[in-house]
Amino acid sequence: MTDAAAPRVEIRGLSKSFGGTRALRGVDLTVLPGEVHGLLGENGSGKSTLIKVLAGFHDPDAGELRVDGEPVPLPLAPGQFRKLGMSFVHQDLGLVESLTVLENLRVAELAVPSSRLRISWRRERARARETFERYGLRLDPTATVAALKPVERALLAIVRALEEIRAVGRGHGLLVLDEPTVFLPREGVDRLFSLVRSAAAAGASILFVSHDLDEVREITDRVTVLRDGAVVSTVGTADTSETAFVEMIIGRQLAALTEPVHADLSARKLAVSVRGLSGATVRDVSFDIHAGEILGLAGLIGSGFEEVPYLLYGARPARAGRLEVDGDAFDLTGMTPTRANQARLALIPADRKTDGSVATLPVGENVALSVLDRYFNGVALQRRRMAQETRTLLDSFDVRPSDPTLPYGALSGGNQQKALLAKWFQTSPRLLLLDEPTQGVDVGARAQIFELLRAAAAEHGMEIVCASSDYEQLALLCDRVIVFGRGRIWRELSGDEITKERIIEQSYAAMAADVEGVVA
């Protein structure tokens, strides 16, 4: 019996523990038909556990589930969600890059032992074009997924999910989007949102999981906020202010976030100077950093700002350039990470998984890697002292849990990043280079990381370069921001000019100006 007024999905009292950790405690969630429902919370708040219960990946300890008013016994069998009209799009999208758009779109059908022996690819192509047209997309069914832009891949994955729901024939179903925008540029997010809106307008329910508050506020009708595995509240998006959301997410007020300080350090002595830096994109870029200054590098992706930290560290080859740190000069064409390390430079790369850490090795070994020689007395590594000091270090950076024997991958994103800061701060770097330092980091840890960086700059006079496409982060953190366009410095913002809006405006202006320049 399907009741039109019944919620699409209704969860009551859902609980789940892993060992001694209670990941979900009596969670209630109601998603209405035709609603875009946000699921917000820090890493480790229980968002992914909740979704994995719906996907039949975890067996809950307790709880009830109703779909379209009908009770469904828990736990769900793996794959049962399809029959219930649910579909999931995860961050990695689940597309096979080497196959075509069409093959990816029809993969579920093709996998079923079919009644048809022969696939009519011509008919399939026509059907796919028709499908894309219905969603207002222009995608070539014969193109390989590898040739698509990131946003087109995301759209394809969403269309495939919606089509799977349609094929079940159980109404409009529930589409779960799990952090779908992480890899997308802003204009891609807009396209994705318009697809989501039209799907919701047609009657589909969407559960939008994200920790990007701005996006959640933009796209959702209602939001459920989780903290420590419990529901804080379910609120109407339009009735709730940004600060109210932040306080619900982290459970305390956060003064530092709302009052950024942009110190004017131009009177101080110059500590770092970069001259004539050229890399793959940047051309002949020069800038200075004052003692204890946090310098932001911004721009649109591809404008070159993102490669500057790697060029300075010797992680990518520079075509030309000279770096001076506290009077020591380096020719950047011959820079290597080893030399940069000896000169007490530190780089915290954006990609924690491949460049920052080894997830399967213990936190302690990851952190101590930068200072191994300190614990070597010429005969043996002093492993006990290393373990003790690493634990103290993790405690002082508020890495939770501060157990150095845990695999690094078991930490949440925010704690992983704090552990990486600990790894590099113990080398007392003269110049700290950061690329997207709070990517995939929850709000609370983000504020802590900002505090750590500010303290390092203010109290220890550390110079910090922070490249980021998260303009809000730059506005909150930096004393000065340089905006790049087409490989060159476009504008320098300081003092009150440093706002999220101004950085965005200048990033786009930099590109527009360059386009004009090319035309002229």
Partner 1 sequence: MTAADERVAESSQRDDGRSRNVGALLERFALLGAWGVVIVVFGILRPDTFLTSSNFSTIFGSQAVLVVLTLALLAPLTAGDYDLSVAATMGLAAMTLALLNVNHGWPLAAAIAAALAVGVVVGVINGAIVVFAEIDSLIATLGTSTFISGVILWMSDSQTISGVSNTLIDAVVANRLFGIPLAFYYGIALGLVMFYVFEYMPLGRRLLFVGRGRSVARLTGIRVSRLRWAAFVASGAISAFAGVLYVGTLGSADPTSALSFLLPAFAAAFLGATTIMPGRFNPLGSIAAVYFLVTGITGLQLLGVQTFVQQLFYGGALVLAVALSQFARRRDAASAGAA
Q: Which of 340/482 has CB closer to partner 1?
A: 340
| Contact range with partner 1 by CB under 8 A, out of 80-88, 400-408, 459-467, 486-494 | 400-408
**Shortest reach from residue 379's CB to partner 1, in Å:** 8
Interacting residue with partner 1 among 124, 324, 326, 403 (CB under 8 A): 403
Q: Which of 18/121 has CB closer to partner 1?
A: 18
Pattern 40-79, partner 1, x by CB under 8 A = ---xx----x------------------------------
C-alpha–C-alpha distance, residues 51 and 34, integer Å: 19
Q: Which of 174/323 has CB closer to partner 1?
A: 323
Pattern 441-480, partner 1, x by CB under 8 A = ----------------------------------------
C-alpha–C-alpha distance, residues 89 and 446, integer Å: 26
- Should residue 342 be labelled a site residue for partner 1 when binding is judged by CB under 8 A? yes
Cβ neighbours of residue 87 under 8 Å, at least 6 residues apart?
81, 161, 162, 164, 165, 173, 174, 175, 176
**Shortest reach from residue 257's CB to partner 1, in Å:** 24
Interacting residue with partner 1 among 23, 199, 443, 456 (CB under 8 A): 23
C-alpha–C-alpha distance, residues 433 and 422, integer Å: 14
Q: Which of 80/341 has CB closer to partner 1?
A: 341
C-alpha–C-alpha distance, residues 389 and 392, integer Å: 5
Q: Which of 303/415 has CB closer to partner 1?
A: 415
Six-digit token string for 91: 């961050």
- Should residue 341 be labelled a site residue for partner 1 when binding is judged by CB under 8 A? yes
Q: Provide the residue type at 314 as one letter.
A: G
- Should residue 21 be labelled a site residue for partner 1 when binding is judged by CB under 8 A? yes
Q: Which of 275/344 has CB closer to partner 1?
A: 344
Six-digit token string for 4: 């039109």
Six-digit token string for 484: 């790049």
User: 359-388: which residues touch partner 1 (CB under 8 A)?
Assistant: 359-361, 365-366, 368-370, 372-373, 375-376, 380-381, 383-384, 387
Q: What does residue 498 show for φ and ψ, rounded to 5 degrees?
A: -80, 90
User: 295-314: which residues touch partner 1 (CB under 8 A)?
Assistant: 313
Q: Which of 132/310 has CB closer to partner 1?
A: 310
Interacting residue with partner 1 among 258, 396, 405, 428 (CB under 8 A): 405
User: 319-338: which residues touch partner 1 (CB under 8 A)?
Assistant: 337-338
Site size toward partner 1 (CB under 8 A) is: 46
C-alpha–C-alpha distance, residues 252 and 443, integer Å: 11
Pattern 149-188, partner 1, x by CB under 8 A = ----------------------------------------
Burial class (CB in 10 A: 0-12, 13-18, 19+), 17: middle
What is the per-residue DSSP string for 365-408? HHHHGGGGGGGB-SSSB-HHHHHHHHHHHHHHTT-SS--TTSBG
**Shortest reach from residue 43's CB to partner 1, in Å:** 8
Q: Which of 115/360 has CB closer to partner 1?
A: 360
Cα distances from 200 to residues 69, 83, 188, 263, in angstroms, run 19, 20, 19, 46
| Contact range with partner 1 by CB under 8 A, out of 86-94, 133-141, 353-361, 478-486 | 353-361
- Should residue 340 be labelled a site residue for partner 1 when binding is judged by CB under 8 A? yes
- Should residue 230 be labelled a site residue for partner 1 when binding is judged by CB under 8 A? no
**Shortest reach from residue 347's CB to partner 1, in Å:** 6
C-beta separation of 356 from 349 below 8 A: yes
- Should residue 253 be labelled a site residue for partner 1 when binding is judged by CB under 8 A? no
Best CA proximity match to 359, nearest among 419, 424, 399, 437 = 419
DSSP 483: E
C-alpha–C-alpha distance, residues 392 and 403, integer Å: 10
Cis amide bond preceding 75, omega within 30: yes
Q: Which of 114/405 has CB closer to partner 1?
A: 405
Cβ neighbours of residue 39 under 8 Å, at least 6 residues apart?
29, 47, 50, 51, 207, 208, 209, 210, 223, 224, 226
**Shortest reach from residue 73's CB to partner 1, in Å:** 24
**Shortest reach from residue 351's CB to partner 1, in Å:** 8
Question: What's the N-to-C CA distance of the chain in angstroms?
Answer: 67
Residue ranges binding partner 1 (CB under 8 A):
18-21, 23, 43-44, 49, 313, 315, 337-338, 340-342, 347, 349, 354-361, 365-366, 368-370, 372-373, 375-376, 380-381, 383-384, 387, 403, 405, 407, 409-412
